Structure 1
Amino acid sequence: MTNKISRRTFVKGLAAGAASVAALGVLGSVEMKYSAEGSDAGSGAGTIPVPAGNMSYTPGTYSASAKGIASDVTVTMTFDETSITDVQIDVSGETPDIGGKIGDEMSQKILAAQSCNVDGVSGATVTADAIKAAAADCISQASGQTVAVEEAQESASSDWLGTAPEIAEADITETVDTEVLVVGCGTGGWITAMTAAEEGAKVLVVEKRETATGIREDIGAINSKLQQEAIQENPELAIDKMEAMQELVRYGAGYVDSDLIRVWINESGEMVDWLTDLLEKSGNYYMSLEGGIGNTADPGRDKAYATGHSPHKTEAAAKDDVITLNSTFQQHCDELGVEWKLSTSLVKLEQDENGKVTGIIAQDGNDEHYIRINASKGVIICAGGYACNTEMMQALQPQTLEMKINYSLGSTCDGSGIKAMMWAGAGLDPTHASMMFNRCCCLPTETAGYKTNGKWFWFGEQPFLKVNLNGKRFCNESGPYEFMLHSMEMQPYHTYCDIFDANNKQYAEQFDEVGCCRLFPFPNGAASNMGYDYVWSKNEELIEAGYLQKANTLEELAEKLNIPVDNFVATVNRYNELCAAGVDEDYGKEKHRLTPVDTAPFYGIRTGAWHLTTLNGCRINTDMQVLDTNGEPIEGLYATGDCTGGMFATTYPNLFTGLACGRTMTFGRHAAKLVAAK
């Protein structure tokens, strides 16, 4: 008879073993707790690694679940007296093209190893870890022992690059010829493909997903027609190009290519004008300019620039869910004769005897056959960064892993385009960067880190009071998102708490934010990405889920956040004094953003980084040619977007709204014109 034993009613050891560790040093008596599903699952005292092949079991079928990146992952395992005989894994709620694809592979690994201690799957680490934790729970139930997943050895010196795979000629069963090959279709790929086709080239797009991804809808540009019109009525929106370039060099601490920045400054306006015309001709969309640069009467440390442009549906199309930006772009591509290979992954670039890139070897994701694609004019890589490749992240920017909280929205890119270009000889940026927004939260028993799964917290970028886990204020809360997050990295457990009170709606409007975190219409009437009422409804969901804490007193709030009460109350009292005086003597925040915390109910939440994407990659020149390690162009190979370097370092300049997206589109359009003209 099959035994079905639930996790709740049998083994508590897995969760108990990892449930809590006492916080040491600076946190005094504050207890920091980690759930088995969220952080260091199964790593606590009293647990043992799972051996392979030398355990005895109570025959039956057992199930357990653990938290993946977007859902609970369920593992069901069947045992006889001495072995695991079957493993079934339900990852249907995970991201389809990432964690949602690894169930069968992980089942085979666990069954073959007779253990939960197996290698994960590159690019789907969070889901793989959840599978292993749930498998350990099943083995615990069947064996009667409290067992756990072995802690993986994480080494920054690991060989994340590896070597290009060798594909036998006999295994290449299909050959395709084109002129311009676009690898990857998202923010960069759409613009690149449409432009190359408009220029008369035969274009083929290869995309590893079943459908192309969308574009980010904050598009940064300088000197668009919309911007020029707005400046006529609002001269303060004008942007000095030299000032803009110098500011971007400063953000990157000099680790940038000023000539690349100049390409964006000089060509982004034309790109937005072209895109505006394309969308308006469809009858379904129009473009608006973000008309905000903050409070110029009370300027802060960091200047904002009105670079953001956003597409919006027309009134006629607003209620038609079938109409999207992707459908609009797809229709244009179809009219231009663009060809597609979806569910097809880049395996490696092909080069001739002189090193010229002639095309790629790709693999069809349906029947896994290999395809040679020849590109007579050139290959343009638009494959994104490596945010989902934990091995690359550990090697290149481990500090980002310490700051981030996992959430299902964000990049799904695994660095495959970067690796393929490096196998072909490309040089990598000397420094590494990411785009991070302070929009993720964790439970008050958790801390930030890539093993912690949390929730989206759009409110996090409002410059309210923020305190560390000692209950103390530690920086100016106003400015670029990453300044806040980098300051957080210097604090205990790389985590802080957002603090605000019942007057938060009034204060959020008073902050006069720019960019996507603005919750009210811009001064020129342009709509914000999300309105306050919608965002607050999401906050109420966070209260229900136990993330956002609500209290009638400051003391109660501190207790709910698991931070020292005395320190926190003293911090709030000091902050309120500064607000009353209108001068931030401690950190220099602007007067209009000094808003007191003095009206109940009080709110607090533990916050970390929402990691959108990595921003460093292979070096390119101003023709978007990929450069080798000596700085020489690799003939036939071009790139744009997050797989390229030279534009960002140290900090993403989010006060240039839409810069990353605008850069990617502008460079893609530039490359497409050059390659199509060959």
Structure 2
Amino acid sequence: MEEKNLSRRAFLGLGATAAVVAGAGIAGCSPAPKADSGAAAGSGDAAAPAAGGGNPTEFVPSFMNAPEPIDESKVTETIDVDVCVVGLGLAGVCALREAADSGAKVIGIEKGPDVGYRSGEFGTFGSEIHKQLGIEQPETQEVVNELMKVMGNRPNAQLLNYWIGNSGADLDWYIGTAEHELLTSDSDTPTDPEKPYVFPERCPVNENYNWREENYPCFPGMVHLLPDHGWAMHGTLEAAKGAGAEARFNTKAEQLIKEGDKVVGVYVSDEDGNIIRVNAAKGVVLSTGDISSDTEMLTYYAPQATKYAVFFSSMDKNGKPVNTGDGHKMAMWAGAVMEDGPYAPMTHSLGTNSIGINPYLMVNKLGQRFANEDVGAQELQNQIKRQKDGTTYQIFDSKWPEQLQYMPQCFGGVTHYVPPEEEEQYAHAINHFAAGYASDSYFQGEIEAGSIIPADSIEELAGKIEVPADALKATVDRYNELAHKGVDEDFSKVSSRLFPIEEGPFYAVPFGDSGMLVLIGGIDCDPDLHALDAEKNPVPGLYVAGNTMGGRFLVDYPVTVAGASHSMAMSFGRLAGRNAAAGK
């Protein structure tokens, strides 16, 4: 399903409407289901809290309780295939095509009216694009080590190794199904912005940026499929159909079918409510997305994430979100377990197109500096969320154009100033948030839109953003003192990004709650993507991919590799389809 592109400000502003959902929950592995739970499984509604005084370790949410078995007499159609792929987002479409290319008879099931996709950023390594453009990238183990470090050594390093080693070839495979234009740098303009093109982010790399010297590095070589990656999705779907695959939409998976310990198929219902039995001789691939639109699951597994507004979800034919953990539930009912947490909310602070998340002074509503600003977009949001009212302000002065070149070339960063005489030439880059280009005209437009607030003095600025003037003045004075010393004695920001705020006009950019794209946490799996039970044994015939699988991201979503989620969904969807087709 196509979704409209949103600007940084639209993304940032959605957080203001985030609902705070109350409820008890225990994060971690799933306990064994109890048969006496009250609420209907998979409803997506919050369950009533346990009675006061109860033991929270014995609480079992309703979604863990399997529904009554499907009455076989209600089946109106039976389909026999080798592989059934449930969920046709990015991972599912890739699984469908790969299974078909491997010679399997395969069907894909999707409860929405179309394949599900959004945006188009892919973090990949070693593709033909990288080779053609001469993009230098780090060694596999450098990336894996950094990702494991920022995620507390919790993900499955074998999965990360596979992804990085195969993502380049998988990208070539994925986009090779449709005609597209390749831009040669991040400042190029496509021949026709309405037609498919590939945009290399941060290419060439800013000469002042060395990721090996960064505390929060962002690896180079990410690419954007634009206007979004719908063209590659539909191209891949058509390639799957050309290889013999079938796809059914507005069709919802209800329950897996088991014979003994093995998953041998799935019951699905069509848009008229008819029950269809799909027999899958070699396996079922679950790739149904994440759990963030099921309030009960979200509250149970990641109560901290309930304070974020969830958006960007594909919708079913009734206009309801499709990312309600259907695959997770069916897998648990069949004996698989969720991975150990803590699960990772994907939340980014992005700022304005002109300044982004550049590490200028940031203060809270008390007018106080509260942390080192030189961190990634995810990490920045984590701190913002902990400030008074979840609101902070980026503070800088009129010298911002000459300071951009020293800023980190990271997801959400802005590193290029375009002078007025070159704005027309760089119009596409200036208007593309991932490029990192800014101009006077765009900056002025954001002032007029209210996303950048100007003032002639720090005291006036304090009044406009409603923070205590004396506190803000003291904070700026202290920051200027540190900048002139060249040493951040308070929060240890690197001196090369410690700029005094002295020459008006002065500016503030409000930061609030980000929205949440997905809540990443899934079914425990091995490197071959078999779903695992509580004893780490494979559930025969059951595979997981995309946001239904575990092992990829934990604690926080790392922006170290921008677009890693898309890229992993592509690579692991393809692997799941291949393994299922082989019965491996």
Q: What TM-score do you get using the length of structure 1 for normalisation?
A: 0.66
Q: Is the CA contact 1:158–1:391 (under 8 Å) kept in the aligned structure 2?
A: no
Structure 2 letter corresponding to 1:617: G
Displacement of 1:612: 1.3
Displacement of 1:421: 0.9
Quote the residue 1:514 is aligned against.
410
| SS, match of residue 296 in structure 2 | helix
Structure 1 letter corresponding to 2:225: P
- Aligned: 1:578 with 2:482: yes
Structure 2 letter corresponding to 1:310: H
> Structure 1 residues 471 and 401, CA, compared in 2 at 3 Å: closer, same or farther?
farther
| SS, match of residue 515 in structure 2 | strand
Quote the residue 1:621 is aligned against.
526
> Structure 1 residues 597 and 211, CA, compared in 2 at 3 Å: closer, same or farther?
farther
- Structure 2, gaps ≥5 residues long: 1-14, 22-39, 183-194, 315-320, 419-425
Q: Deviations over 1:221-273 (max 9, x none)?
A: 22333334555xx6xx3312222222222122121212112111222222123
> Structure 1 residues 519 and 603, CA, compared in 2 at 3 Å: closer, same or farther?
same
CA-based RMSD of the aligned residues comes to 4.0
The aligned runs of 1:93-492 (5 Å cut-off) are 123=44, 159-166=61-68, 167-214=70-117, 216-231=119-134, 237-280=136-179, 285=196, 287=198, 289-290=200-201, 291=203, 295-296=208-209, 299-312=213-226, 324-353=231-260, 355-364=261-270, 366-402=271-307, 404=308, 406=309, 408-409=311-312, 412=321, 413-439=323-349, 461-492=357-388
Displacement of 1:351: 1.0
> Structure 1 residues 590 and 553, CA, compared in 2 at 3 Å: closer, same or farther?
same
Q: Deviations over 1:92-144 (max 9, x none)?
A: xxxxxxxxxxxxxxxxxxxxxxxxxxx9x95588xxxxxxxxxxxxxxxxxxx
Displacement of 1:487: 2.7
Displacement of 1:536: 8.2
> Structure 1 residues 239 and 551, CA, compared in 2 at 3 Å: closer, same or farther?
same
> Structure 1 residues 160 and 254, CA, compared in 2 at 3 Å: closer, same or farther?
farther
Structure-1 separation of matches of 2:241 and 2:267: 25
Displacement of 1:666: 1.0
| SS, match of residue 351 in structure 1 | strand
Q: Is the CA contact 1:432–1:615 (under 8 Å) kept in the aligned structure 2?
A: no
Structure 2 letter corresponding to 1:676: A
Structure-1 separation of matches of 2:282 and 2:238: 24
Q: Deviations over 1:427-475 (max 9, x none)?
A: 211112324343379xxxxxxxxxxxxxx99965333322223221111
Structure-1 separation of matches of 2:396 and 2:62: 43
Q: Is the CA contact 2:263–2:542 (under 8 Å) kept in the aligned structure 1?
A: yes
Quote the residue 2:553 is aligned against.
648
Structure-2 separation of matches of 1:349 and 1:534: 55
| SS, match of residue 567 in structure 2 | helix
Structure 1 letter corresponding to 2:256: L
Q: Deviations over 1:136-186 (max 9, x none)?
A: xxxxxxxxxxxxxx9999999561533122232333323222222111112
> Structure 1 residues 517 and 161, CA, compared in 2 at 3 Å: closer, same or farther?
farther
Structure-2 separation of matches of 1:468 and 1:337: 57
Structure 2 letter corresponding to 1:331: E
Structure-2 separation of matches of 1:535 and 1:401: 38
Displacement of 1:380: 0.9
Q: Is the CA contact 2:384–2:512 (under 8 Å) kept in the aligned structure 1?
A: no
Structure-2 separation of matches of 1:420 and 1:151: 23
- Aligned: 1:563 with 2:467: yes
Q: Deviations over 1:262-289 (max 9, x none)?
A: 1112222221232243345899645454
Structure-2 separation of matches of 1:334 and 1:36: 43
Q: Deviations over 1:364-383 (max 9, x none)?
A: 2x322222222122111111
Structure-2 separation of matches of 1:202 and 1:663: 25
Structure-2 separation of matches of 1:348 and 1:458: 49
Structure 2 letter corresponding to 1:615: I
| SS, match of residue 98 in structure 2 | helix
- Structure 1, gaps ≥5 residues long: 1-34, 42-118, 126-149, 314-320, 442-455
Structure-2 separation of matches of 1:192 and 1:491: 43
Q: Is the CA contact 1:197–1:338 (under 8 Å) kept in the aligned structure 2?
A: yes
| SS, match of residue 227 in structure 1 | helix
Displacement of 1:425: 1.2
Q: Flag the structure with more relative contact order, 1 or 2, with Cα contacts below 8 A and sequence separation at least 6.
A: 2
| SS, match of residue 303 in structure 1 | coil
Moved more, 279-288 or 608-617: 279-288
Displacement of 1:300: 2.8
Displacement of 1:639: 0.9
| SS, match of residue 461 in structure 1 | coil
* Matched length: 510
Displacement of 1:555: 2.8
Structure-1 separation of matches of 2:224 and 2:16: 41
Displacement of 1:514: 2.7
Q: Is the CA contact 2:483–2:499 (under 8 Å) kept in the aligned structure 1?
A: yes
Displacement of 1:309: 2.7
Larger fraction in strand:
1
Structure 1 letter corresponding to 2:369: R
Displacement of 1:588: 2.5
Structure 1 letter corresponding to 2:263: V
Q: Is the CA contact 1:218–1:310 (under 8 Å) kept in the aligned structure 2?
A: yes
> Structure 1 residues 577 and 230, CA, compared in 2 at 3 Å: closer, same or farther?
farther
Displacement of 1:513: 2.1
Displacement of 1:346: 1.9
Displacement of 1:603: 2.4
Structure 1 letter corresponding to 2:268: A
Q: Is the CA contact 2:349–2:511 (under 8 Å) kept in the aligned structure 1?
A: no
Q: Deviations over 1:52-74 (max 9, x none)?
A: xxxxxxxxxxxxxxxxxxxxxxx
